[in-house]
């Protein structure tokens, strides 16, 4: 049976393709989600995508994922740099967690260089553009198969 992977996106990712294309490109969240589902099929993964601008909603979805999903691929967006709550929720999730950032956060402002989520992540994809989601899914598939 296909492994189930939750692709979670945090605040402002719903604005992709509408503003700051020089940083994040022209793809929209819908484009990214459609590509994740398609790539997932090629990797024998059943992918579900969710996005929220609310920290508590993301935390609830991570808690619920314990029952439903085998892995999480997450772009926590700005909450990467601030949220101990999301880190704690991810610590309670037992499967692989892959952190994705579209931009190279280490080339940007100092406040983006640290991610709380990285303390839990089993893999981190940074600065590969939206292709990073495919790389994250591929690594999740690899970890789930070994």
Q: Considering only CA atoms, which of 142, 82, 84, 95 is closest in space to residue 121?
A: 95
Q: How many residues of this chain bind ligand CA2 (CB under 6 A)?
A: 16
Distance CA 102, CA 67 (A): 28
Q: φ, ψ for residue 113 (rounded to 5)?
A: -75, -25
- Given the rule CB under 6 A, which of 10-18, 50-58, 59-67, 90-98 is the region that contacts ligand CA2? 10-18
Q: Judged by CB under 6 A, which of 8, 16, 97, 137 binds ligand CA2?
A: 16
Residue 24 falls in the annotated catalytic set? yes
From 24, 79, 116, 133, active-site residue: 24
Query: Residue 99 belongs to what H/E stretch?
Result: strand 97-101
The distance of closest approach from Cβ of residue 52 to ligand CA2 in the complex, given in angstroms and rounded to an integer, is: 12
Question: 101 with 73: CB under 8 angstroms?
Answer: no
Nearer to ligand CA2, 4 or 25 (CB): 25
Compare residues 71 and 117 and give the one whose CB is closer to ligand CA2. Answer: 117
Q: How many CA atoms lie within 13 A of 104 on its CB side?
A: 4
Q: What's the closest the beta carbon of residue 112 comes to ligand CA2, in angstroms?
A: 4
For residue 24, state whether it binds ligand CA2 (rule: CB under 6 A): yes
Q: How far is CA 68 from CA 19, 36, 48, 77, 103, in A?
A: 34, 18, 11, 23, 29
User: Which residues are annotated as catalytic?
Assistant: 24, 101
Site residues (CB under 6 A) for ligand CA2?
Answer: 12-13, 15-16, 19-20, 24, 75, 77-78, 80, 101-103, 105, 112
């Amino acid at each position: 049976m296909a492994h189930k992977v939750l692709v979670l996106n945090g605040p402002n990712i719903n604005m992709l393709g509408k503003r700051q294309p020089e940083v994040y490109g022209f793809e929209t969240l819908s484009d990214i989600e459609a590509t994740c589902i398609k790539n997932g099929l090629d990797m024998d993964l059943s992918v579900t995508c969710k996005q929220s601008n609310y920290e508590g909603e993301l935390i609830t979805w991570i808690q619920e994922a314990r029952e439903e999903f085998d892995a999480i691929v997450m772009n926590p967006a700005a909450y990467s740099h601030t949220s101990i709550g999301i880190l704690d929720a991810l610590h309670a999730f037992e499967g692989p967690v892959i952190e994705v950032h579209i931009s190279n956060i280490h080339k940007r402002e100092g406040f983006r260089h640290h991610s709380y989520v990285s303390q839990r992540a089993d893999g981190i994809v940074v600065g590969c553009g939206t292709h990073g989601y495919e790389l994250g899914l591929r690594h999740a598939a690899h970890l789930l198969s070994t």
